[in-house]
Amino acid sequence: MEVYKDEKKRIYLENNSIAYLFGFQVDEFIEVHEYQRGEWIIQEGMRPDFLFYVMEGAAKIYITHQNGKVSLINFISANDYIGEMELLNDVYYTKGIQASTKTICFALPFYRYRTQLMEDAKFLRELTKFLSVKATLRAAKYSQSLAFPLENRLADFILQTADEGIYKEKHITVCDYLGVSYRHLLHVLKQFCDKNYLQKEGRNYQIIHYDSLYKLAEVLKHN
Q: What is the pLDDT along the chain (223 residues), one digit of tens a residue?
A: 999 999 999 999 999 999 999 999 988 899 999 999 999 999 998 999 999 999 999 999 999 888 888 889 889 999 999 999 999 988 888 899 999 999 999 999 999 999 999 999 999 999 999 999 888 877 777 666 667 899 999 999 999 999 999 999 999 989 988 989 999 999 999 999 999 999 999 989 999 999 999 999 998 876 5
> Across the chain, what does the average pLDDT equal?
91
Single-letter amino acid, residue 89: N
Architecture of domain 2-122: Sandwich (2.60)
Residue 186, pLDDT score: 96
* Cα 74 to Cα 76: distance, rounded to the nearest angstrom: 7
Residue 113: φ, ψ to 5°? -115, -5
Instruction: Tell me which fold the domain 147-221 belongs to.
Output: Arc Repressor Mutant, subunit A (1.10.10)
Q: Do domains 2-122 and 147-221 have the same CATH topology?
A: no
Write the pLDDT tens digit of every residue in 21-41: 999 998 889 999 999 999 999
Please name which of 48, 44, 40, 33 lies closest in space to residue 2, comparing C-alpha atoms.
Answer: 33
Which ranges of the chain would DSSP assign to H, the alpha helix?
Answer: 6-15, 84-88, 110-119, 121-147, 150-161, 171-178, 182-194, 210-221
CB-CB contact of 48 with 81 (8 Å): no
Instruction: Give the containing element (helix H, strand E) for 125.
Output: helix 121-147
Residue 223, pLDDT score: 55
Q: Give the domain ranges of the chain.
A: 2-122, 147-221
CB-CB contact of 31 with 50 (8 Å): yes
Angle at the Cα of 156 (from 221 to 36), degrees rounded to 5? 120
3-class SS shares of the chain: helix, strand, coil, % to 5: 45, 25, 30
